Amino acid sequence: MMNEQTLTKLMEMKLSGMAEAYKEQAANKEFQKMTFEDRFSLLVDLEHARRKSNKLQRLIKTATFLNSNACIEDLEYHEDRRLNKELILKLASCTYILDSHNIILKGPTGSGKSFMATAFGVSAYRQFFNVKYIRLPELLDELSLAKLAADGSYRKSIKKYTKVDLLILDEWLLTDLTTDEAAILLEITEARHKVGSTIFCSQIDPSGWHLKLGNETIAEAILDRIIHDSYQILLDGEVSMRERHDLAGNHDMTTLTPKEIQKMEENYYLVGLKSWIPFPKELIEKLLKVYGEEPVPYSWTEQDIYEGSRKIIFDYFSNQS
């Protein structure tokens, strides 16, 4: 017979897994044949499994992956890619996170850097590490605006990114940075040095990062905190991964659509800029006016649209503050 007071107390203590198992045991007479120790063990096992499952779901949600289905098991080791499978499997064990080491994934667009980075991220959250995925342009937007606010949010944001066990920075140094942006990166790399791991997805080799960072003094300081503690993996091949999966022609964006603007809103919401959402009608009209039609006889690349839209959005909200 079920004790309602016991059930109520379990729920008050947020032991919902035990409460459900307790109700099931009370409803099924077969459980009465088991010893107290066995029945209690089942209650604890269900609660433990429920909490681990809930924690995993929270980790997945806070990681903000673009593709949370990516996993190491699905990596393709084609001969022309020349991937070191032994090293990749070693990194998938996440010992590099325990050692606060980094990973640099370098290769041309479409080579599978984002997929591999996310796969490493998925391996990390499976082992209950905190993971955060973000595009570098979005990170710089968030921190630049927080700095302008002068309300303490900048320090809070730096602390937020410092506490993450694994930070994945996609589109690393895709464009040249201003001195202010480079200084922000230095703060992030300094704060995470020796205390957290970072995965950098870059189209250029680290030897060329100086040029993108601009200020030589800041560049030296940033590279000093990254390069020496990093595993480097080159992703290349005679055929890009987009071409292998017939993605090259189907998903390239040549004009900006309302659906893509909605995705941008979701991205900015996920990085914490909730006050920007939804975009004002005036801003949406400006984005569509600039990138909503192909500039015949030329055409926009996806990078043109994302980088140009980012600048328009950033300038718009900067002027509002």
Residues 204, 225, single domain; the answer is yes
Q: Is 112 left (phi over 0), alpha (psi -120 to 50) or beta?
A: left
Same domain assignment for residues 150 and 299: no
Residues 24 and 107 in one domain: no
Higher pLDDT, 110 or 201: 201
Question: Does one domain contain both 152 and 286?
Answer: no
Report the predicted TM-score, pTM, of the whole model to 2 decimal places.
0.68
Task: Return the higher-pLDDT residue of 80 and 199.
Answer: 199
| Position 151 pLDDT exceeds 90 | no
Instruction: Tell me the pLDDT tens digit for each residue of 81-126.
Output: 889 999 999 999 999 999 999 999 999 888 899 999 999 999 999 8
Q: 62, 89, 108: which is the final residue of a domain?
A: 62
Q: Which domain holds residue 294?
A: 258-320
Structural domain contains residue 263: yes
Query: Given the structure tokens 């984002």, which residue do they identify?
Result: 114
CATH number of the domain to which 230 belongs: 3.40.50.300
Question: Quick check: is 193 in a domain?
Answer: yes
Among 282, 290, 295, smallest CA distance to 310 is for 290
Position 247 pLDDT exceeds 50: no
- 8 Å CB contact between 230 and 224: no
